[in-house]
Structure 1
């Protein structure tokens, strides 16, 4: 019997998409055969390349496996890829333009992030060749600009934004000239944001703006930075702020997903859970298992997510544009009953504060959030609103680490929430290798708020005793670890801030504290801390500095009352045996014989100046660039 001409071919384990074979042809390493690499790929190759559905994971995998020398060896082909992709984008015909933009985003990220020997010139060789670089890259920027501004639909325009974000991040990394500073992309980005209603699609454009504003902004007059100063389109500003608020909520929720810190009232279910019988609770459902301590630590260390880079753009707008700040403070939530963008920002800031020590990156963004808060509270019109009842909001504050502040339910004026966040910052970042810059910022915000409340004679409902307890606990911490702290840069400045803040509260508290009992409590806590204050003064050598007046005022008040307490009850009862009420009565009686130095000048502070923060802002910008890479990979 003749064998059948139809033979069954064994089925391959997996099918390779044809586009992946084209990628492999494009980046094939022929072992140094320069003649072969100079061969132009045919027009048919490129027609097929831009018609096939891209396999972005496959392209990323191929690029990741190549070293910088491999990429340079393939420059004839990479230049063709870049040039043909630009051509397809400019022609604006589907689906080739979409394929070109998606491919460019991955290609630019993968090829430009390699460690080249001569980064700037090597990258220009990969993209266009040194002789044609200016013309080709200018064409590329022009094509992106046109697509972002007036592409046929928002999906295509979003792809153009992502491609622009990819090459901008690469330019920061490598020193490649940013051609977006030669052609102003600002109007197109604003037009895109204006036309876009989805915050997740606004995010890349807002993020990109932050990178463009920070490109060498301390070395030359950055045109994007100048654009922020006079931008007055309320509608676009509000869209950016809504996007920022929703991004903050997403980032905060990632912390909650690791450890749910939402306080809950007593229920039968919670009680059964507490004693290990949660399965018996009515309507009980399986719960997500709590991660082990080591796993929790690593999960927290990976946060916040890469979207946090949009905080850089928010900072730059807040620093440059009063209308932006006004909208950030006053904008209502998109839906009634939802948190406002300001509420979500403050909530995220609270979580950043409790986890700032987890990583250097987290610390950088925590500082940046503090810059934004400082800018807001320095504006006398805005801080007045933040202290008024019309600013009342409810904010979810982090409760993932002890000590906990009192839980206050319902709406509160924003200033009371900011005070809570600053207290948490002081309490949860105490380490021998102290982040002194962070503490200077926190103490500075506290001083700005108290000085405003005092001048305006504004009294807010607040648990003031927690503030005094926190500040005096910080004094005790510094007194305990003096040798470690004194060696840290700017520690004398931090100590001065702390002493002056306490002295100011003591001399001016009657102007902003809600009742005599709150003022008495400050005196009571100073009396308790008398020995610590003296040790603090001597440990940091304050007796020989201008701040001697502030620390001596605190010590004198403590000594004054201690002498009264020692002599109370006709000398038969020592002060430590007196009840709090008896101590309070002695404090009230002692006002008549107490002399407090006037607090003139204690509430002076320098206005926020970006020029003083060049180094930390450059570090934040580099972190945002790295996060842009991860953001593009996620999407």
Structure 2
């Protein structure tokens, strides 16, 4: 007689089970009674002999699983009880399920059991791995699933081998293969950098997953397949040579790459739609844009993000991680991506919403920083392609927060112009008392990378630079005005240095970067208007001269600073601009904007800058792998 027909569990457990029974004739009471017995609060073993236990679980896996009931039961058990009361039976349930991933001599029974086995394993992994109260997560999970460390190697090797075998089996149904892929995803994502994921490196699944991505018949599995590749490529990538990264470097299937990019476009489009549904957008009038520009001059606190945005961006945003890994590792993928205008239109549109609401949650800040670093890489690797005038993309910018970008931003333009607009959105809308130093450094590095790229390729960008300069000044005002308070934050001096670097680089290369003298004069004008902020930044960066400037080619005192030579000389150049024009403007107490710009144009060639280091295409980049 089957062990499933043995004495039912205690009345308490039976009552609890029967109260959750759905009126579903496709399931027998036997499954509910059996699960109650396995998860009995008494922790009584199922059977004493190995043969009886095996028969018990083989029979159980012939029964259809009630996912909701099993998930609820596991969710209600505390970590302490899992490890003390339920460990033995739960370990048996997991181990016998893993054994059933391997084909037996009975194909008919395998076909019946496999869907139930996959469902059972998926629920166990999802509900248990999400619990937060483990004292030693890796060791506790190994003991809970394998029974002991001694059994772990064989168990997890069989688990990964079974997953690989099912995913690669074209005779299996698409549903079973997809559920198996989702099982692997739930394990890898929850374990993160834990030792269990090492078994996915020991048995390389790259060929299997690449086959899923390239096969038109498995298009519904492509997203999960690409995501699993990205997660595995990031497992302990700094400790050893990750085999998935190595395989990414050698990947040559351009059709599959195009599919990944198309998938990314669709995913990010869904995420952007989620932002749009969270809050209605209103395009401001010309007057509203003018008022917004004026308000951006003052370092006031921006409008706080609305509560609905705390749950954004939505789940499909995770496609950004494998996308970043592929473009960093594979030149062919980078080239395919750079040529795709549809990708650029959607990616930049999505980024505008992410950047506008990056401060809404820790998760959104992490994704925003990933996009910033990704854009730095893309600008440095393919900036010429992105800055060509004939390359036009239409970006739908977020208009949910004030001040908005000018309406011209929605017109077809080279992608690099939209990248600059994105930095304005990030700089404007994420100023907080506890400044996210690393993200702001990355946004400033992105601005610097764009300028360096334009200079290197001799591209004069048709762009309204005023908004960018004022966004930089706004950040500088916050940093400079709260310098003493912000000293507790590491690298605050680097934020000041990076802002000064951007202004200095723009000054040195102004004739190359700007379309005409109006653009050059506009830069000088914004520097003069922000003279107090510039000098505060010089102090925070440790670049204050010890001797006064007295002429257009001044003698600068010794500066004690940890900044590089280029930043030091850039600081001197900015101080020269301030001193020189302040001397020229002593003749009267009040100057109109037009008068100042006219004065600047008249004396543009009168200042000789220090350029030995400023001429270098410097950009303080973070290691793009270490986010």
Confirm or deny a common fold (TM above 0.5). yes
Per the alignment, residue 206 of structure 2 pairs with 186
The whole-number CA distance in structure 1 between the counterparts of 2:533 and 2:285 is 39
Instruction: Map 1:525-564 to 2 at 5 A.
Output: 525-538=526-539, 540-543=541-544, 544=559, 545=561, 546=565, 547-564=567-584
- Residue 317 of structure 1 is aligned with which of 309, 326, 330? 326
Conserved? CA contact 2:380–2:449, under 8 Å: yes
Deviations 1:399-439 (A, max 9, x none): 22222221223311000000011111111122232111112
After superposition, the Cα gap between the structure-2 partners of 1:468 and 1:32, relative to the gap in structure 1 and judged at 3 Å, is closer
Higher relative contact order (CA 8 A, sep 6+): 1
Per the alignment, residue 517 of structure 1 pairs with 518
After superposition, the Cα gap between the structure-2 partners of 1:121 and 1:506, relative to the gap in structure 1 and judged at 3 Å, is closer
The whole-number CA distance in structure 2 between the counterparts of 1:426 and 1:235 is 37
The whole-number CA distance in structure 1 between the counterparts of 2:266 and 2:448 is 30
Report the alpha carbon displacement of residue 35 of structure 1 after superposing the two structures with TM.
7.1
The whole-number CA distance in structure 2 between the counterparts of 1:146 and 1:198 is 16
Per the alignment, residue 491 of structure 1 pairs with 492
The whole-number CA distance in structure 2 between the counterparts of 1:366 and 1:197 is 34
After superposition, the Cα gap between the structure-2 partners of 1:389 and 1:499, relative to the gap in structure 1 and judged at 3 Å, is same
Per the alignment, residue 393 of structure 1 pairs with 393
Matched, 1:62 2:73: yes
Conserved? CA contact 2:156–2:199, under 8 Å: yes
After superposition, the Cα gap between the structure-2 partners of 1:580 and 1:79, relative to the gap in structure 1 and judged at 3 Å, is closer
Per the alignment, residue 432 of structure 2 pairs with 431
After superposition, the Cα gap between the structure-2 partners of 1:594 and 1:307, relative to the gap in structure 1 and judged at 3 Å, is same
Report the alpha carbon displacement of residue 446 of structure 1 after superposing the two structures with TM.
1.1
Per the alignment, residue 456 of structure 1 pairs with 457
Report the alpha carbon displacement of residue 582 of structure 1 after superposing the two structures with TM.
3.0
Q: The residue matched to 1:352 in structure 2 has which SS?
A: helix
The whole-number CA distance in structure 2 between the counterparts of 1:116 and 1:538 is 48
Q: The residue matched to 1:389 in structure 2 has which SS?
A: coil
- Residue 336 of structure 2 is aligned with which of 320, 327, 341? 327
Q: The residue matched to 1:439 in structure 2 has which SS?
A: helix
Per the alignment, residue 625 of structure 1 pairs with none
After superposition, the Cα gap between the structure-2 partners of 1:65 and 1:230, relative to the gap in structure 1 and judged at 3 Å, is same
Report the alpha carbon displacement of residue 38 of structure 1 after superposing the two structures with TM.
6.6
After superposition, the Cα gap between the structure-2 partners of 1:233 and 1:390, relative to the gap in structure 1 and judged at 3 Å, is farther
The whole-number CA distance in structure 2 between the counterparts of 1:301 and 1:161 is 29
- Residue 580 of structure 1 is aligned with which of 593, 596, 612? 593
- Residue 141 of structure 2 is aligned with which of 119, 123, 135? 123
Per the alignment, residue 344 of structure 1 pairs with 346
The whole-number CA distance in structure 2 between the counterparts of 1:53 and 1:34 is 23
Instruction: Map 1:143-182 to 2 at 5 A.
Output: 143-152=162-171, 153-172=173-192, 174-182=194-202
After superposition, the Cα gap between the structure-2 partners of 1:136 and 1:122, relative to the gap in structure 1 and judged at 3 Å, is same
The whole-number CA distance in structure 2 between the counterparts of 1:62 and 1:117 is 22
Matched, 1:297 2:306: yes
TM-score computed with the length of structure 1 as normaliser = 0.80
After superposition, the Cα gap between the structure-2 partners of 1:452 and 1:89, relative to the gap in structure 1 and judged at 3 Å, is farther
Per the alignment, residue 355 of structure 2 pairs with 353
Report the alpha carbon displacement of residue 173 of structure 1 after superposing the two structures with TM.
6.7
Conserved? CA contact 1:530–1:558, under 8 Å: yes
Matched, 1:107 2:124: yes
Report the alpha carbon displacement of residue 373 of structure 1 after superposing the two structures with TM.
0.9
Per the alignment, residue 547 of structure 2 pairs with none
Instruction: Map 1:405-444 to 2 at 5 A.
Output: 405-408=405-408, 409-444=410-445
Report the alpha carbon displacement of residue 331 of structure 1 after superposing the two structures with TM.
2.2
Per the alignment, residue 362 of structure 1 pairs with 364
Q: The residue matched to 1:74 in structure 2 has which SS?
A: helix
After superposition, the Cα gap between the structure-2 partners of 1:247 and 1:436, relative to the gap in structure 1 and judged at 3 Å, is same
Conserved? CA contact 2:41–2:86, under 8 Å: no
Matched, 1:248 2:268: yes
Deviations 1:182-213 (A, max 9, x none): 11100000001111467653111111111111
Conserved? CA contact 1:504–1:599, under 8 Å: no
TM-score computed with the length of structure 2 as normaliser = 0.81
After superposition, the Cα gap between the structure-2 partners of 1:28 and 1:595, relative to the gap in structure 1 and judged at 3 Å, is closer
Per the alignment, residue 98 of structure 1 pairs with 115
The whole-number CA distance in structure 2 between the counterparts of 1:121 and 1:50 is 27
After superposition, the Cα gap between the structure-2 partners of 1:121 and 1:496, relative to the gap in structure 1 and judged at 3 Å, is closer
Q: The residue matched to 2:450 in structure 1 has which SS?
A: helix
Structure 1: 5+ residue stretches without partners:
1-10, 267-292, 333-339, 568-573, 617-635
The whole-number CA distance in structure 2 between the counterparts of 1:538 and 1:39 is 75
After superposition, the Cα gap between the structure-2 partners of 1:25 and 1:216, relative to the gap in structure 1 and judged at 3 Å, is same
Report the alpha carbon displacement of residue 76 of structure 1 after superposing the two structures with TM.
5.5
After superposition, the Cα gap between the structure-2 partners of 1:160 and 1:461, relative to the gap in structure 1 and judged at 3 Å, is same
After superposition, the Cα gap between the structure-2 partners of 1:582 and 1:607, relative to the gap in structure 1 and judged at 3 Å, is closer
- Residue 161 of structure 2 is aligned with which of 142, 166, 187? 142
Report the alpha carbon displacement of residue 46 of structure 1 after superposing the two structures with TM.
4.9
Report the alpha carbon displacement of residue 531 of structure 1 after superposing the two structures with TM.
3.4
After superposition, the Cα gap between the structure-2 partners of 1:48 and 1:149, relative to the gap in structure 1 and judged at 3 Å, is same
Per the alignment, residue 7 of structure 1 pairs with none
Conserved? CA contact 1:119–1:176, under 8 Å: no
After superposition, the Cα gap between the structure-2 partners of 1:464 and 1:71, relative to the gap in structure 1 and judged at 3 Å, is same
Which region of structure 1 is more displaced relative to structure 2, 137-146 or 71-80?
71-80
Conserved? CA contact 1:557–1:596, under 8 Å: no
Q: The residue matched to 1:430 in structure 2 has which SS?
A: coil
The whole-number CA distance in structure 2 between the counterparts of 1:110 and 1:89 is 28
After superposition, the Cα gap between the structure-2 partners of 1:223 and 1:14, relative to the gap in structure 1 and judged at 3 Å, is closer
Q: The residue matched to 1:412 in structure 2 has which SS?
A: coil
The whole-number CA distance in structure 2 between the counterparts of 1:228 and 1:50 is 38
